[in-house]
């Protein structure tokens, strides 16, 4: 049978279930990555599994999110992560070494392998031909312990690229075009596989920009073939032996094929407050720009930085604009210093931030009130920058650099009129490489003891699912509620290891009274229930968006539709993810309504729809669910950790 790339990797990795669209399969995970903000909880859960060493080919623990270190919390977490890595055979990437996805691509990514990361932008690895998937920390912990990762066998959508990007049009514009076509909703259970003659014109970092932001479409992952361009990149990273060819068979079949002619693309922007609101830069008109932020896992590679450096050479920052640059890794910094780019960026007036997530997650560089902020990152959700009234736009490094000079939204093609030439940056044949900021397990000086500062608390346990849920609609929200709405990151992210404290900020952006109401309902002996619109739980993989609600007594989420990672996280923490059979029933529920769901166990067994009674309104309606038998068992056990313990006790 002719296979596409996704089918090739999956058939090599399926260890549970049988391939077949829409069915649940378990795959073997070759590599894992965690970052610090999701990592502490992932490793606390891994510890609870009682496995002496990780069972993957490679597991890496990065510190890149919580690097601000105001107060002891972040430093405590870093030390905890370092000691866990030393004990369990995990590579530790110290703060300062760079953003997980950029560094993984540089130093560890291998074509044809599977990578599971506790971060939604793990698909960046698809740029190098990996099947790289984002998941909640608990799923990553299970994979480190040697367990399968479960996913719905995906539909594969081929994105057929032809032509070649024109000068000043970038990889970011390609993925913004993809977002314009597919939007941020309705792509759950799909994978984007890139192909066509146009891919021969895209370097690995450009491909990685494209696969990185596939996460915003809600697909399981995105992947490029592994070809001679991949080989050149690995050679430049001194890793040629990691290369294998991976291309789709001629006549491989796809569920859908979408053509994009690269030659026809123009500079694009995602306008506030969604990566799916796409416009051509030209159509945005004159908008003054208060802040420009260049960096993040989407656009912080050598090529991105050198393009910005060439554009800014001899230029100065516009007086009304603030400008920050965060190169993606220590390797990027060292290489752009060597090749003269760093000097041009600093000389233009950039504030150099450390190689970390920083501005992207709103834990530094929050813009001024009502600012227009141009960012090369991947998310512009409401409030994510740390300034609620700010308007963040997502653009390419070229468009961002143009605004640095002019102080307003500028199509970068117009720079030529100002005598600035297109920076046709070539990839180096060989990068300068220094791996000294990794601590490899064989070099770790740990004594097997785990460091636990006061910021580290045990993850709370969920309670088993009862036959009846009597609850109150604590919150009713609209469509496209992101995990940033559910539980903010930014300045609150330092409480990731302290669930009771972090839970105080649940839904803070939507309704700051949520926490107190939920507490009251929980203390009254009732459950909390969330009612939501379409595409609930978009965005991040943060399991705290399920873990903290679980801690506050949320037992069911009733939505018009839900995103993949969040749905899996809810199940992992014993929260029932339900959908309206008839979306109009959403309109018949109000906040504070009392709901009752009965005969849950028997109904789940038969697969029939659950009946939800609205006691307040005296009405009832049907709720559907999409749960495999394994997921039903997890819910009944009260979450994945309890499920694993139960199986271990039975010796399964």
Select the residue interacting with ligand SF4 from 270, 360, 518, 575 (CB under 6 A).
360
Task: List, as own/partner pairs, every contact residues 182-186 make where C-beta atoms lie below 8 angstroms and the sequence separation is at least 24, other chains included.
Answer: 182/217, 182/219, 183/217, 183/276, 184/216, 184/217, 184/218, 184/274, 184/275, 184/276, 184/480, 184/535, 184/538, 185/218, 185/276, 185/479, 185/480, 185/534, 185/535, 185/561, 186/218, 186/535, 186/561
Contact positions with ligand SF4 (CB under 6 A) in 80-99:
99
Residue from 83, 322, 540, 631 touching ligand MIC (CB under 6 A): that is 540
Shorter beta-carbon distance to ligand SF4: residue 34 or 410: 34
CA-CA distance, 283 to 608, in Å (whole number)? 50
Is residue 366 involved in binding ligand SF4 (CB under 6 A)? no
Burial 556-580 (b: 16+ CB within 10 A, else e): bbbbbbbbbbbbbbbbbbbbbbbbb
Interface with ligand SF4, residue 296, by CB under 6 A: yes
Please tell me whether residue 515 binds ligand MIC under the rule CB under 6 A.
Answer: no
273 contact choice in ligand SF4, ligand MIC, none (CB below 5 to 8 Å, kind-dependent): none
Q: Is 559 in the site for ligand MIC (CB under 6 A)?
A: no
Report the C-alpha gap between 534 and 566 in whole angstroms: 13
Contact 248, 225 (CB under 8 A): yes
With contacts defined by CB under 6 A, name the span among 113-121, 549-557, 579-587, 640-648 that binds ligand MIC.
Answer: 113-121
Q: Which of 45, 61, 74, 120 binds ligand MIC (CB under 6 A)?
A: 120
Q: Binding pattern to ligand MIC, positions 350-379, x when CB under 6 A?
A: -----------x-----------------x
Among 4, 32, 34, 38, binds ligand MIC (CB under 6 A): 38
Nearest approach, Cβ of residue 353 and ligand SF4 (Å): 11
Q: Which stretch binds ligand SF4 (CB under 6 A): 128-136, 250-258, 356-364, 390-398?
A: 356-364
Dist CA 588 CA 218 (whole Å): 28
**Using CB under 6 A, which residues numbered 210 to 229 contact ligand MIC?**
none
Q: Which residues, including other chains, have CB under 8 Å from residue 389's CB and lie 6 or more apart?
A: 369, 370, 371
How distant, in Å, are the alpha carbons of 505, 555, 557, 572, 639 from that of 518?
A: 12, 12, 14, 21, 20
| Among 36, 106, 119, 242, interactor with ligand SF4 by CB under 6 A | 119
Q: Which does 542 bind (CB under 5 to 8 A by kind): ligand SF4, ligand MIC, none?
A: ligand MIC
CA–CA dist 288, 77 (Å, integer): 40
- Comparing CB distances to ligand SF4, the nearer of 335 and 363 is 363
Interacting residue with ligand SF4 among 361, 403, 450, 546 (CB under 6 A): 361
Q: How far apart are CA 453 and CA 592, in angstroms?
A: 39
Q: Which of 6, 10, 37, 332 binds ligand MIC (CB under 6 A)?
A: 37
Q: How far apart are CA 316 and CA 331, in angstroms?
A: 26
> Which does residue 485 touch among ligand MIC, ligand SF4, none (CB within 5 to 8 A, set by kind)?
none
Q: Which part of the chain contacts ligand SF4 (CB under 6 A), choosing from 53-61, 142-150, 353-361, 573-581?
A: 353-361
Q: How far is CA 377 from the centre of its chain?
A: 12
DSSP symbols for 444-512 = ----SPPP--TT--PPPPPPPP-S-EEEEEEEE--S--BHHHHS--GGGGGGTT-HHHHGGGTTTTT-T
Tell me which stretch binds ligand MIC (CB under 6 A): 201-209, 301-309, 328-336, 535-543.
535-543
Site size toward ligand MIC, by CB under 6 A: 14
Q: Is 204 in the site for ligand SF4 (CB under 6 A)?
A: no
Identify the residue among 128, 357, 469, 565 touching ligand SF4 (CB under 6 A).
357
* Minimum distance from residue 72 beta carbon to ligand MIC (Å): 20
Q: What is the DSSP string of 161-185?
A: EES-PPTT--HHHHHHHHHHHH-SS
Give, in order, the Cα–Cα distances in Å from 350 to each of 72, 98, 291, 343, 393: 29, 19, 11, 10, 19
Stretch that binds ligand SF4, among 176-184, 355-363, 513-521, 558-566 (CB under 6 A): 355-363
Is-contact 103 124, C-beta < 8 A?
no
Sort residue 615 into left (φ over 0), alpha (ψ -120 to 50) or beta.
alpha
| Residue-wise DSSP of 281-305 | GGGG---B-SEEEE-TTTS-SHHHH
Minimum CB distance to ligand SF4, residue 584 (Å): 36
Q: Does 363 bind ligand SF4 (CB under 6 A)?
A: no
Among residues 297, 305, 402, 509, the one that binds ligand SF4 under rule CB under 6 A: 297
Among 66, 211, 321, 378, binds ligand SF4 (CB under 6 A): 378
**Range 241-300, binding ligand MIC (CB under 6 A):** none
> How far apart are CB 215 and ligand MIC at their closest, in Å?
7
At closest approach, how far in Å is the CB of 540 from ligand MIC?
Answer: 3
> N- to C-terminal Cα distance for the chain?
35
Find out whether the peptide bond into 640 is cis, omega within 30 degrees of 0: no
Report in angstroms how near the CB of residue 155 gets to ligand MIC at its nearest. Answer: 23
Q: Which of ligand SF4, ligand MIC, none does residue 159 bind (CB under 5 to 8 Å by kind)? A: none
Distance between CA atoms of residues 244 and 234, nearest Å: 10
Positions that interact with ligand SF4 (CB under 6 A): 65, 99, 119, 121, 296-297, 357, 360-361, 377-378
Positions that interact with ligand MIC (CB under 6 A): 37-38, 65, 119-121, 134, 361, 379, 489, 539-542
């Amino acid at each position: 049978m002719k296979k596409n790339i996704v089918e090739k990797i999956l058939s090599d990795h399926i260890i549970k279930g049988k391939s077949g669209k829409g069915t649940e399969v378990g795959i073997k995970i070759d590599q894992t990555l965690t970052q610090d903000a999701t990592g502490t909880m992932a490793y606390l859960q891994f510890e609870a599994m009682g496995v002496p060493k990780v069972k993957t080919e490679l597991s890496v623990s990065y510190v890149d999110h919580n690097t601000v270190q105001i107060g002891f919390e972040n430093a405590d977490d870093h030390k905890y992560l370092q000691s866990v890595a030393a004990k369990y055979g995990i590579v530790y990437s110290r703060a300062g070494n760079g953003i997980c996805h950029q560094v993984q691509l540089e130093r560890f990514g291998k074509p044809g392998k599977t990578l599971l990361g506790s971060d939604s932008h793990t698909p960046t690895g698809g740029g190098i031909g990996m099947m790289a998937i984002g998941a909640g920390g608990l799923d990553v912990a299970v994979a480190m312990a040697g367990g399968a990762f479960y996913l719905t066998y995906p539909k594969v959508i081929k994105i057929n690229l032809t032509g070649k990007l024109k000068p000043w049009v970038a990889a970011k514009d390609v993925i913004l075009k993809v977002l314009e076509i597919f939007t941020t909703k309705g792509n759950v259970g799909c994978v984007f596989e890139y192909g066509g003659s146009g891919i021969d014109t895209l370097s690995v970092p450009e491909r990685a920009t494209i696969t990185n932001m596939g996460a915003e479409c809600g697909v399981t992952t995105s992947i490029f073939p592994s070809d001679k361009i991949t080989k050149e990149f690995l050679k430049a990273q001194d890793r040629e032996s990691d290369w294998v060819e991976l291309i789709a068979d001629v006549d491989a079949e796809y569920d859908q094929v979408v053509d994009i002619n690269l030659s026809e693309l123009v500079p694009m922007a995602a306008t506030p407050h969604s990566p799916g609101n796409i416009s051509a830069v030209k159509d945005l008109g004159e908008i003054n720009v208060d802040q420009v932020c260049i960096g993040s896992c989407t656009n912080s590679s050598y090529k991105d930085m050198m393009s910005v450096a060439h554009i800014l050479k001899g230029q100065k920052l516009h007086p009304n604009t603030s400008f920050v640059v965060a190169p993606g890794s220590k390797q990027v910094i060292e290489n752009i210093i060597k090749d003269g780019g760093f000097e041009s960026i600093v000389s233009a007036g950039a504030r150099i931030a450390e190689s970390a997530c920083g501005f992207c997650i709103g834990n530094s560089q929050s813009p001024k009130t009502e600012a227009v902020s141009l960012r090369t990152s991947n998310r512009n959700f409401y409030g994510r920058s740390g300034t609620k009234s700010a308007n963040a736009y997502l653009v390419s490094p070229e468009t961002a650099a143009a605004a640095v000079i002019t102080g307003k939204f500028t199509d970068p093609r117009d720079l030529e009129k100002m005598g600035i030439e297109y920076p046709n940056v070539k990839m180096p044949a060989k990068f300068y490489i220094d791996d000294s900021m990794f601590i490899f397990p064989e070099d770790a000086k740990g004594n097997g003891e785990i460091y636990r500062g006061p910021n580290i608390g045990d993850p709370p346990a969920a309670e088993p699912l009862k036959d009846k849920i009597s609850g109150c609609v604590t919150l009713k929200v609209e469509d496209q509620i992101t995990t940033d709405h559910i539980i903010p990151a930014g300045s609150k992210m330092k409480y990731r290891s302290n669930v009771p404290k972090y839970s105080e900020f649940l839904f803070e952006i939507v309704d700051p009274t949520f926490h107190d109401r939920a507490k009251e309902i929980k203390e009254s002996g009732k459950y909390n229930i969330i009612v939501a619109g379409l595409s609930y739980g978009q965005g991040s993989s943060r399991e705290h968006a399920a873990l903290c609600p679980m801690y506050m007594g949320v037992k069911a989420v009733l939505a018009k539709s839900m995103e993949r990672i969040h749905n899996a996280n809810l199940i992992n923490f014993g929260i029932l993810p339900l959908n309206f059979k008839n979306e109009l029933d959403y309109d018949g529920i109000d906040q504070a309504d009392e709901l009752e769901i009965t005969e849950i166990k028997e109904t789940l067994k038969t697969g029939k729809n659950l009946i939800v009674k609205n006691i307040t309104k005296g009405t009832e309606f049907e709720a559907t669910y999409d749960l495999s038998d394994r997921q039903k068992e997890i819910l009944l056990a009260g979450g994945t950790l309890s499920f694993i313990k139960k199986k271990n006790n039975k010796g399964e």
